[in-house]
Amino acid sequence: MQKLLLLGDEAIAQGAIDAGLSGIYAYPGTPSTEITEYVMHSKEAKSGKVVASWGANEKTAMEAALGMSYAGKRAMVCMKHVGLNVAADAFVNSAITGANGGLIVVAADDPSMHSSQNEQDSRFYGKFALIPILEPGNQQEAYDMVHYGFDLSEKYGIPVMLRITTRLAHSRSGVALKESRTQNEIRLPENLRQFILLPANARRQYKHLLTNQAAFISASETSPFNKLTDHKDKSIGIIACGLAYNYLVENFAGHEVPHPVLRIGQYPLPEKMVRDLYDSCDSLLVLEDGYPIAEELIRGFMNNGKPVKGRLDGTVPRDGELNPNIVARALGLADTRGRDIPAIVSSRPPSLCKGCPHIYSYNALNEALASLSKGRVFSDIGCYTLGALEPFDAINSCVDMGASITMAKGAADAGLVPAVAVIGDSTFTHSGMTGLLDAVISKSPITVMILDNATTAMTGGQNSAAVGKIEDICLAIGVEKEHIRILNPLQKHHEENLRIMMEEIAYPGVSVVIPRRECIQTAARRLREEKKKQETSKAEA
Amino acid sequence: MKKDIILAGVGGQGILSIAATIGTAALSTGLFLKQAEVHGMSQRGGDVQSNLRISDREIASDLIPQGKADMIISVEPMESLRYLPMLSPDGWLVTNTKPYINIRNYPEMDKLMAEIEAQPRHIALDADEIARQMGSPKSANMVILGAASPFLDIEYSSLQDAIRSIFRKKGDDVIQVNLDALEAGRNFTTGKLNSRT
Ligand code: SF4
């Protein structure tokens, strides 16, 4: 059997290709980015003409995937957990329309916030939308669950969520591949009104979704990814979701876990299995990465049955990623933590690359605002968020994609004038354009700096939808031509850049300043690739 | 056989090249492997680590339990100490002594070295300098891997084969440079161990 060493993300991508995927859509976001990149670079996917594309944001990606499913083909859409907030409208309603071709929504959560602004648990979204959720415990399951998930989706005509976390996404292990299967032919839904959510139709569809809930639960009861294993010591029964199972097993290295264990990889929770475990044990311990969603369900509102331990009663910390030691402590086992970190070890936060264009933009901006009181720069999500740290200390907010412009507008409405927004090119086309329209309509006295480095840098330099379009977009939205200023963020242009920024900050309407220079990482990669191409064409000549 | 290894360094220093070499060698000898990496924001000059686990039996957790790592392999001296809570009481610390200073409050070198010297089982070498003297400054990471190799429980020849297969496309010269760097690191450690006994 062929075994490949794959990241969890790559296992999902390979699984999708082998399971007859026709299209994958995404907006880059750690830790989900590598799924779509893998399909983009796959020769098999190319020869099968699989569509792999970055959308302007997660919502457009979700809708494109739904469109492909409508046409009867298998589609996948990938995003980080907070991306699902952006896609939520399409996502929740896709549960009502249902799917035609298999549709899998991959949501990559980031407990412990390694690269994110929160650690929200996407399983809540899956439950909210009333759809089945799959949660792999290892790379092999990540691969297998895609095949299984497409089948489940097509059997019930329902989108299926595949929920992973950073740890699995970015961890590598051997994965055995299945035979690949062919893609679906185009086949429209039998009922051409299925996807029309006019109230009368939506009510019918919603009832259908509700009726299917019992079927989803019974699919969970018989799922190969949910397993109840009995063992002698019934003082405690353990429910372990996804990766938590590995941490549990790790603590009994080489031996069997002495307690009954219910391993969960598919939701809704298998009610009967949970009930059997509860009935046979004196207490329950729930181990899950993310929010205590299973724990809350099992505990219930009255909480007057047997003790249920987990994140809610403090047996497991309320926040942060699980690990083997946290699980050991929850089981009352000895903690094995080694020597302490010596006091002389300093923290080493990430920083902008040497020569990064943002450095010069922030230096000029800081100087341009020096004579004003602090606290008027609203920023956004990207490498430039590092402008919050030393030595820049240049920004005062980072909330969600696009919030820089709209928060600046609101603050200006409140009287904080001038207010400045700082947003990247890719973030601007993701969710900044509509906010700029709001600001133009109310003639807000704000300056929007669109840091144009021609890429989506933070996630590793994916194509930016904004390239070559920013001025045209701003003009079309209604920003005055003479208040769209382009500058080159380099030390040698500092004085000129400073002057332009000061002029535009002083302008009492919407102005846009575009510091434009390519990200040095993408530039270096481009040069390497060009050199390679030249060399190969020379060798061929 | 089980080896749990923490690889440490600063984003951009390429610790994954060490992981790839060990991983390739481990797989070629039929061992199981799990390797948790850091992607995303920290790669911009922040502290990065990778949990590399190899075993002749199936591996459960992607993360090494704290206090259970057999080894810390670090390409930067301060970073080697950040993961001490992970190291088992009889584990080895193998580290480069060449600092990567991109923060203002980097500790004083002599104090830092004193902490490293205070670790019961450690190998500390200036891999950058060794690589530079060999005329291949880019292969410092292979020097570090060589210095760690006596503790790996993987045949040395498997590591050499791994280098050959990883650098295959880059030609014989690059392969040789990396093999030499591996050897130089290994000699450093065996020299240390011999002088001790
Ligand atoms: S990746 Fe590009 S945009 Fe990000 S910090 Fe480095 S140079 Fe700047």
Same structural domain, A153 and A49: yes
Residue A270 lies in a domain: yes
Same structural domain, A151 and A165: yes
Residue A403 CB less than 6 A away from ligand 1: no
Q: pLDDT value at position A253?
A: 82
Same structural domain, A248 and A183: no
* Type of residue found at B197: T
Residue A352 CB less than 6 A away from ligand 1: yes
Handedness of CA A240, A242, A244, A248 (dihedral sign): positive
Q: pLDDT value at position A2?
A: 60
Q: pLDDT value at position A505?
A: 98
Same structural domain, A400 and A439: yes
Pairing, β B87-96 against β A261-264: unpaired
Q: Give the tokens for residue A468.
A: 């070559």
Same structural domain, A424 and A519: yes
How high is the mean pLDDT of chain A? 96
Residue A371 lies in a domain: yes
Same structural domain, A396 and A317: no
Distances (CA, A) of A359 to A349, A362, A384, A512: 16, 5, 9, 19
pLDDT tens digits, residue range A380-439? 999 999 999 989 999 999 999 999 999 999 999 999 999 999 999 999 999 999 999 999
Mean pLDDT in residue range A493-499:
98
Q: Give the tokens for residue A217.
A: 């639960």
Q: pLDDT value at position A534?
A: 86
Contact with chain B for residue A429, Cβ under 8 A? no
Specify the DSSP class assigned to residue B137. Answer: G
Q: Which of these three, A315, A330, A345, is where a domain ends?
A: A330
CB contact under 8 A, A347 and B61: no
What is the pTM assigned to this prediction? 0.95
Is the pLDDT at A219 greater than 70? The verdict is yes
Is the pLDDT at A540 greater than 90? The verdict is no
Q: pLDDT value at position A338?
A: 92
CB B15 within 8 Å of CB B72: no
Residue A408 CB less than 6 A away from ligand 1: no
The count of domains in chain A is 3
Q: How many CB atoms lie within 10 A of CB A400?
A: 17
Q: Which residues of A touch B33 (CB under 8 A)?
A: 5, 172-174
Residue B44 CB less than 6 A away from ligand 1: yes
Residue A120 lies in a domain: yes
Specify the DSSP class assigned to residue A431. Answer: I
Handedness of CA A482, A484, A488, A491 (dihedral sign): positive
Q: Which of residues 28-47 of A touch B (CB under 8 A)?
A: 30-31, 33-34
Q: Give the tokens for residue B193.
A: 């161990």
Q: Which of these three, A283, A315, A330, is where a domain ends?
A: A330
Specify the residue with its C-alpha closest to ligand 1, atom 6.
Answer: A353
Q: pLDDT value at position B44?
A: 84
CB contact under 8 A, A346 and B78: yes
CB B94 within 8 Å of CB B2: no
Residue A532 lies in a domain: no
Q: What percent of chain B has pLDDT over 70?
A: 99
pLDDT tens digits, residue range A178-214? 999 999 999 999 999 999 999 999 999 999 999 999 9
Q: Which domain holds residue A278?
A: 227-330
pLDDT tens digits, residue range A91-101? 999 999 999 99
Is the pLDDT at A344 greater than 60? The verdict is yes
Same structural domain, A46 and A155: yes
Residue A161 lies in a domain: yes
CB B85 within 8 Å of CB A341: yes
Domains defined along chain B, listed by start? 2-196 (3.40.920.10)
Which CATH number is A255's domain given? 3.40.50.920
Residue A337 lies in a domain: no
Q: What is the DSSP string of A4-46?
A: EEEEHHHHHHHHHHHTTEEEEEE---TTTHHHHHHHHH-HHHH
Same structural domain, A77 and A135: yes
Q: Which residues of A touch B35 (CB under 8 A)?
A: 171-173
Residue A350 lies in a domain: no
**Counting every residue, how long is chain A?**
541
Same structural domain, A183 and A248: no
List the one residue out of A134, A122, A114, A112 whose CA is nearest residue A242: A134
As beta bridge partners, residue A74 has: A21
CB A176 within 8 Å of CB A142: no
Specify the residue with its C-alpha closest to ligand 1, atom 5.
Answer: A352
pLDDT tens digits, residue range A28-75? 999 999 999 999 999 999 999 999 999 999 999 999 999 999 999 999
Which CATH number is A372's domain given? 3.40.50.970
Mean pLDDT in residue range A133-151:
98
pLDDT tens digits, residue range B113-146? 999 999 999 999 999 999 999 999 999 999 999 9
**Residue B7 belongs to what H/E stretch?**
strand B2-10
Same structural domain, A416 and A295: no
Same structural domain, A8 and A99: yes
Residue A351 lies in a domain: no
Residue of B39, B42, B43, B44 best suited for mutating to test ligand 1, as the one with most atoms within 8 Å of CB = B44
Find, in chain A, the residue whose alpha carbon is nearest to that of B64. A324
Is the pLDDT at A1 greater than 90? The verdict is no
For B106, residues 6+ apart whose C-beta sits below 8 A from its C-beta are A346, B78, B99
Q: pLDDT value at position B97?
A: 98
Q: pLDDT value at position A304?
A: 76
Same structural domain, A282 and A396: no
User: Is B114 strand, coil or helix?
Assistant: helix
Q: pLDDT value at position A303?
A: 76
